[in-house]
Amino acid sequence: MSELDAHAPLRQDVRLLGQLLGQTLQEQESPVLLELVEDIRKLAKDARAGHEDQYPKLFEKLSKLEPELLVPVARAFSHFLNLANLAEQYHRVRRRREYQQTQRKNQRATMSELYPRLQRDNIDTDTIFETLNTLSIDLVLTAHPTEVTRRTLIQKYDDITQSLETLDTVNLTDIERNRVIENLKRNIVSAWNTDEIRQQRPTPVDEARWGFVTIEQTLWSAVPEYMRELNHWCEENLQRSLPMDFAPFTFSSWMGGDRDGNPNVTAVVTEEVLLLARWMAADLLNRDFENLYTKLSVTHCSDELRQWVGDHPEPYRAYLKPLRDRLFNTKSYLNAQLNKMEWYGDTPILTIDELMKPLKLCHQSLTECGMKEVANGDLLDTIRRLNSFGVTLLRLDVRQESSRHMDAIATITQAIGMGDYSQWDEEQKQRFLISELTSDRPLIPKFLKCSDEVQEVLDTFNMLTRQSIDALGAYVISMAHLPSDVLAVILLQKEAGMKSLMRVVPLFETLEDLQNAEATLKCLLDIDWYREHIQGQQEIMIGYSDSAKDAGFLAAAWVQYQAQEQLTRLCKQYGVQLTLFHGRGGSTSRGGAPSHEAILSQPPGAVNGRIRITEQGEVIRAKFTPFGVAIRTLQRYVAATLEATLIDRPQPDEQWRNMMTSLSENGTQSYRDMLRGDPRFLSYFHHATPEQELQRLPLGSRPAKRRQSGGIETLRAIPWVFAWTQMRLMLPGWLGADVAFQKALQQGKGDLLHEMYERWPFFRMVMGMLEMVLAKSDAQIAAYYERRLAQPEDRSLGQELQSRLAEMIDLVKNITDHSVLLQNNSVIRRSIEVRNPYLDPLHMLQVELMRSARLKQQETPDETRALMITVAGIAAGMRNTG
């Protein structure tokens, strides 16, 4: 089958969804709206096809829209892009199924594709199986300001995907097919008549609930289904079965726990999110036990089980019914907790053992009685869900900035007459912290007078003492610079009375912190008390966002790589097992590489069977819905983690390292010269991008800035990247790299760069990410924003940046030896091309709405809503945007 034929079904799906959306516009709004949208779409499509004389006509039509048409026109194009996303997501499922059916070749990033390469490297089956059994892949769900899709729309989108899958059924009758299309139309009409934009800023609890939906809708079923698939592969190829306790995946979350710079995340909010997560786990487990109660009607059981149930004719039902009922009551108990009410009902289920031991006994009994097939059905699925999700659904990470802990301890030391901790040098701080960590007396006065900020820090630790440790993940310290930053958090946990302490994870995120990461960790590991405390386990979080914002993508990528090398080597010297926690975002400049490539590009030895990685809101649904895509994502993670652990990667050649250092230094200098040295830059960024609008639109729970005063340095990485993406200049993804590559080529290093691209996974990943970001850039759209919005005196800068963008594209094609960007990924290239005619009107509408509001210094509710729709629509069209 040719590539063109392979993707023909996707084009058919997009065409069908577009037609149904058109019918919806005509029937739900008016034929006039459909005609207007079609005219705009045709003008945009013709302009993109090379008829540039159509752009002025497109601009004129959009700039003269009546106020009442702003919202429906913006919605029409935004809805199409969301429908195209659904079609593309389902097509990934279709392609996976085709690989499985034809078996013409093994799909990339699967165990079937990896296994022959493991054999070629003489890795025996025992080693493969043992390594597989010890994999630890923790996926950490985080929020994103533009991706808080309402749950009601998620359900409609899932129904649309299900209809597309049904249409793939070969033997549908005409009547059945028509019914499916009617259902598709029904969901599109319903989605059109549903307000997709929240009228108020989502709360951290809203974001957490959104994250729970992904688990409920797909991951709850996908995890055991993938393990069943993996077990089948093991039985066929390794001649052994995976153990019942096999659990390569765990799931964590930052939603409701990430308080760094977010005043909306308080101790009260975090506790509410923890209770809600438990409620969702109890609800899902209750459904599982209801299902088991229905299906396990068999009469034969082991003597051990019979001792529990007596002579009951249906022993499994008799054994499981009380657990089912207790799970139902657990939901009522958690509701009481959420409403601050007393609970007088039955004892709730709060630990995993209360469920796991009975389930294992049922499994053992069924197996002993010759019903292995029944034991390994839904019962085993529930056991595996319990292994991955527990009774808490997720493990909640807590994140806070290091200075907040320092302020808390400084308040305490001043209150007890020891002076100001914040003014002590590092040696004094460490000596004091270790002394208090080894002391039995309480440190914090009972009636401590402190600021609201310090009280909130102490309240958070007091709240954590009320939680079971299985509900908690890591305590992550932002802006961790010194060993005392880590010791301070351990001390605050101890003083709050936590029986089991959370593991404390320093986050090295700025360029300087990453460069000093090895020295900081060495100081920690040299402390006898600390080494004993961590019991041979150390976790470090690598930040991708702030380092790239600080020095540019290229320099950040290299310093992140070096930091991982150094930390891996250091932990090996101290006999400590290192887990690297990758704080990747969706966009290229925030580390958003495809998961498989990202894992394989790590330094040799850095993975070692263990990895934590953030999955951010905008890509969570892209990676975990629909069901088949979730399976594929889990498949990729296992294959990549296993490969990175077992297949030796050669250390990068010294020439390559020197080249990367040179590129990094030149790139950083160029990047900083622009941001800090060009007097036009701040004004250009402020006016030519939607930065002003993103700060005030109710798109996420967290403020866009860490502090309201200050410039770019106070702006968070997400809105920084997001603003440039909305206007398609994509500056954070390539600025500085252009000058670095240009200098290298002028020095005759072209062959070396091409060799690095061909032979070094890290550099190949870097170039792939650059190709992606450049393919999504558009100098013509950026120029439109600039002409309409930038100050006249700053427009020369825009022209320079657009010229540099064009040069950067040529440089990347030169190094990769590609005639076009994404030459090896025609599907994504085609996807971008198809979307552009639908994105262009949204860009133009956004510009005109911003221009009008800035001139009038006010906007109507319809204009505000239309602007939000353009922001969300462009984000949907661009996919990984922030």
* Burial class (CB within 10 angstroms; exposed 0-12, middle 13-18, buried 19+) of 695: middle
| Closest alpha carbon to 390 in 466, 454, 472 | 472
Name which of 591, 594, 600 is nearest 642 in CA terms: 600
Q: What's the one-letter identity of residue 240? A: R
Secondary structure string (H, E, C) spanning 813-872 = HHHHCCCCCCCCCHHHHHHHHHHHHHHHHHHHHHHHHHHHHHHHCCCCHHHHHHHHHHHH
Please compute Rg for the chain using Cα positions. 28
Of the residues 185, 549, 596, 776, which is catalytic?
549
Answer for the pair 505, 540: CB distance below 8 angstroms, yes or no. yes
Strand partners, 136: 610
| CA 869 centroid distance within chain | 22
Pick the catalytic residue: 7, 91, 144, 156?
144
Q: Is 596 in the active site? A: no
Q: Is 156 a catalytic residue?
A: no
Structure tokens, 111: 């165990």
Handedness of CA 564, 567, 569, 572 (dihedral sign): negative
Q: What is the Cα–Cα distance from 569 to 467, expressed in whole angstroms? A: 35
Q: Give the residue carrying structure tokens 């993975």.
A: 607
Taking alpha carbons only, the member of 533, 438, 440, 445 closest to residue 486 is 533
CA distances from 707 to 12, 404, 702, 712 (A): 49, 14, 12, 11
**Rounded CA separation 141/144 (Å):** 10
Residues 134 and 641: their CA atoms lie apart, in Å, by 11
Closest CA to 275 of 536, 453, 466: 466
Among candidates 704, 711, 723, 705, which has minimal Cα distance to 850? 723
Q: How open is the CA angle 850-852-854, to the nearest 5 degrees? A: 65
CB of 882 within 8 A of CB of 585?
A: yes
Spacing of C-alpha 61 from chain mean position: 38
Q: What is the DSSP letter of 615?
A: E
**CA dist., res. 779 & res. 761, Å (int):** 30
Q: Under 8 Å CB-to-CB from 402, ≥6 apart: which residues?
A: 477, 478, 479, 480, 481, 485, 488
8 A C-beta contact, residue 204 and residue 255: yes
100-112 b/e (C-beta count within 10 Å ≥ 16 → b): eeeeeeebebbbb
Beta carbons within 8 Å of 46's beta carbon, 6+ residues apart: 54
State the Cα–Cα distance between residues 626 and 633, nearest whole angstrom: 11
**Residues acting as catalytic residues:** 144, 549
